[in-house]
């Protein structure tokens, strides 16, 4: 099988490529990535010399390029996206361009080149937020969309386009929506690697508001297995949700990281909250479990400890990226409460 992976130099995309090439060595993968700040070819060192792997630096909005490289492709796995909510607040145009128009470009190419099987990776944020006082309320595949940020609105729009190409043109698609991913090789601007790397360096760690926002944290390896299940066994036209059964307050996450590293909680600095900050996300895995057999391999404490250990042992990977994350953190810390 010939596969096009978009955004394959990013955190989840690179993990998927390595996982897939290890499990299906006979398949060939072309990785199309623009190499923005979040793309890192160091993530793919172990496959870069594999004859079944090819990297192309390019933009999913480049219609001519996308049309050309999708010829002869059997499967498109679409990770490429602008994904940081704070950045979407600061510059929404790039999110609309990449997440909406880029997805449309890929769909048009998939359709023009024979109706290529298309799997689209999305986020649980398209469903909005859940109440803190109702722990039984969770996102599920039948919920109406209610995005509350520019990022989630752009992803919701891309989901709708993917679904529309299935209903209108019979393009064979599946969609997966996931909760907050974490694990090795994640850019240190995100909460978990930001907290880990700054704690290692004995630096202040910014936490939005009181830190009581709840997220369902899923280890990237569990998510990638879910994607594989949806591609291999998912029903065409269907959506599948993949969570980690790891609902925790943000402040719990940061304190647990400090505990693992034997660092003081005095490193935590509470800062002004994000505009329109969603208070809670949680995913109901019932459909993906029943239809695909999906379940997380470990609980959050097991995976989080492994993640902390990876950052401790791979400082040469993240230290070159730290200045950009530090700039972001300094912006947060300037609004300390």
C-beta of residue 105 within 8 angstroms of C-beta of residue 257: no
Determine whether 284 is an active site residue: no
- 239-242: strand order across its sheet: 53-57, 28-33, 2-6, 75-78, 117-123, 173-178, 239-242
Determine whether 124 is an active site residue: yes
- Find, among 14, 118, 9, the residue nearest to 66 by Cα: 118
Listed in sequence order, the residues at least 6 apart from 190 whose beta carbon sits closer than 8 Å to its beta carbon are 84, 182
Write down the residue that tokens 């940020």 correspond to.
149
Determine whether 159 is an active site residue: no
- Active-site residue among 33, 59, 82, 151? 151
Which residues partner with 180 through β-bridges?
217
- Active-site residue among 124, 129, 189, 247? 124
> What is the C-alpha to C-alpha distance for residues 282 and 244, in angstroms, rounded to an integer?
9
> What is the C-alpha to C-alpha distance for residues 78 and 293, in angstroms, rounded to an integer?
22
- Active-site residue among 125, 189, 216, 326? 125
> What is the C-alpha to C-alpha distance for residues 17 and 6, in angstroms, rounded to an integer?
10
Catalytic sites, residue numbers: 124-125, 151
């Amino acid at each position: 099988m010939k596969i096009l992976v978009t955004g394959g130099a990013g955190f989840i995309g690179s993990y998927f490529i390595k996982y897939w090439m290890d499990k299906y060595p006979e398949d060939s993968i072309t990785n199309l990535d623009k190499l923005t700040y979040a793309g890192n070819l160091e993530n793919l060192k172990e496959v870069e010399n594999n004859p079944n792997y090819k990297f192309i630096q390019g933009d999913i909005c480049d219609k001519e390029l996308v049309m050309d490289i999708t010829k002869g492709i059997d499967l498109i796995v679409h990770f490429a996206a602008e994904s940081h909510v704070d950045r979407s607040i600061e510059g929404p145009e790039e999110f609309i361009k990449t997440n909406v128009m880029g997805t449309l470009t890929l769909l048009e190419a998939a359709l023009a080149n024979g109706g290529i099987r298309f799997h689209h990776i999305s986020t649980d944020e398209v469903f909005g937020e859940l109440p803190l006082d109702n722990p039984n309320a969770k996102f599920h595949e039948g919920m109406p969309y209610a995005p509350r940020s520019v990022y989630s609105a752009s992803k919701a729009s891309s989901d709708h386009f993917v679904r529309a190409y299935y209903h209108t043109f019979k393009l064979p698609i599946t969609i997966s929506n996931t909760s907050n991913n974490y694990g090795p090789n994640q850019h240190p601007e995100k909460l978990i690697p930001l907290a880990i790397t700054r704690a290692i360096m004995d630096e202040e760690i910014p936490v939005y508001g009181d830190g009581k926002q709840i997220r369902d944290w899923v280890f990237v390896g569990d998510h990638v297995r879910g994607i594989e299940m949806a591609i291999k066994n998912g029903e065409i036209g269907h959506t599948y949700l993949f969570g980690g059964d790891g609902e925790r307050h943000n402040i719990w996450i940061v304190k647990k990281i400090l505990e693992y590293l034997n660092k003081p909680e005095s490193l935590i600095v509470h800062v002004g909250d994000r505009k329109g900050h969603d208070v809670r996300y949680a995913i109901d895995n019932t459909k993906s479990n029943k239809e695909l057999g999906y379940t997380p391999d470990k609980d959050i404490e097991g995976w989080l400890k492994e993640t902390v250990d990876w950052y401790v042992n791979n400082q040469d990977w993240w230290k070159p990226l730290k200045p950009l994350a530090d700039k972001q953190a300094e912006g947060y810390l300037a609004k300390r409460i």
